[in-house]
Amino acid sequence: MNANLLVVEDDPTLRELLAASLRFAGFAVSTTASGAEALQIAASRPPDLVVLDVMLPDLDGFEVLRRLRHGRQDVPVLFLTARDAGEDKVRGLTAGGDDYVTKPFRLEELVARIRAILRRTGGGAREVLVAGDLELDPAARLVIRGGTEISLSPTEFTLLRFLMENADRVLERVRILHHVWRYDFGGDASIVESYISYLRRKVDNREPRLIHTVRGVGYVLRTPR
C-alpha cells in the first residue's frame, strides 16, 4: 500500500521515528512540525491521509482540521496526540477526524488504523456518489441536489456520505453512531436523530424524499426507482 501520508508532529525525535517506521511499513511519508505548513502541503500536494498532532506551536490540530474541512479538503485525518481526555476525543471526531489515537501508542496499532482508514476511503481515489438528483463528491467535498449546491457541516457531510455509500440498506442507529461519531465507548444515539433531521431540512426538502426512517431500527437512503 504505497499511500502518501503527511505526518504533522512538532517533536523532532518522534516525527523522525514515525516517518521511518511508516516508510518501513510501505507508505510514502512527508513531514512537518507546523500546522500552517501542513495546510499549505495539503493544498498543493494532497496526501492520502494526515497523521495530525493536536498540540502544535502555531495552529492546534483541531484548527488545522477545521481549516481543511472549510477548504473542502476531505483528506482523512488521524489524530495522534497526548490529549487523552474524553472531551478532546469527542471534539476531534465530531469535527470530522477519522480516528483518534493517544500517546503512548503501539506502532502496530497505528499502522493498522491507518490501513483501515485508507481501505474505507479508497486511499484518496473516490467516485461521485449519486442517488436520483442528489450528488456527493467526496474529493471536492461538494453536495448538489437538482443542480443546486448545498452547504453541509463536516458531520452532516460524513453522515450523508455514509447513507449514500449504503444506499437502499437499512442502517441501525448504533452503526451510524459508531461510523460517523466513532463512539466506541458508548454514546447518545439521539444525536443521530438530530442530524438526520438537519439533513432532511437541507437535502431532503423536495420530492422524491430519499431519507426514510425504519421504525425501531434506523434509517435508509432509498434511490428513486
- Residues 16-66 have pLDDT tens digits of 999 999 998 888 899 999 999 999 999 888 899 999 999 999 999 999 999
Give the integer Cα–Cα distance in Å for 72 and 81. 24
pLDDT at 188: 67
- Residues 171-204 have pLDDT tens digits of 999 899 888 887 654 556 788 999 999 999 999 9
* Cross-strand bridge partners of residue 49: 5
* Residue with more model confidence, 138 or 212: 212
Give the integer Cα–Cα distance in Å for 69 and 76. 10
Strands (E), the chain: 4-8, 28-32, 49-52, 77-81, 99-102, 129-131, 134-137, 142-145, 148-150, 171-172, 211-214, 218-221
Q: Omega of the bond prior to 57 within 30 degrees of 0, cis?
A: no
Please choose, from the candidates 122, 27, 90, the residue with its C-alpha nearest in 3D space to the C-alpha of residue 79: 90
* Residue with more model confidence, 49 or 84: 49
How much is the mean pLDDT over the chain?
89
Per the structure block, which three cell numbers stand in for 151? 452547504
pLDDT at 166: 93
pLDDT at 1: 44
Query: What's the predicted TM-score (pTM) here?
Result: 0.57
Would you call 206 helix, strand, or coil by DSSP?
coil
Range of lowest pLDDT (71-75, 181-185, 214-218):
181-185
- Residues 104-146 have pLDDT tens digits of 999 989 999 998 888 887 664 456 889 999 999 876 678 999 8
Share of the chain above pLDDT 70, in %: 93
Mean pLDDT of 75-103: 91
Dihedral angle, C-alpha 116, 120, 124, 126, nearest 10 ° = 170
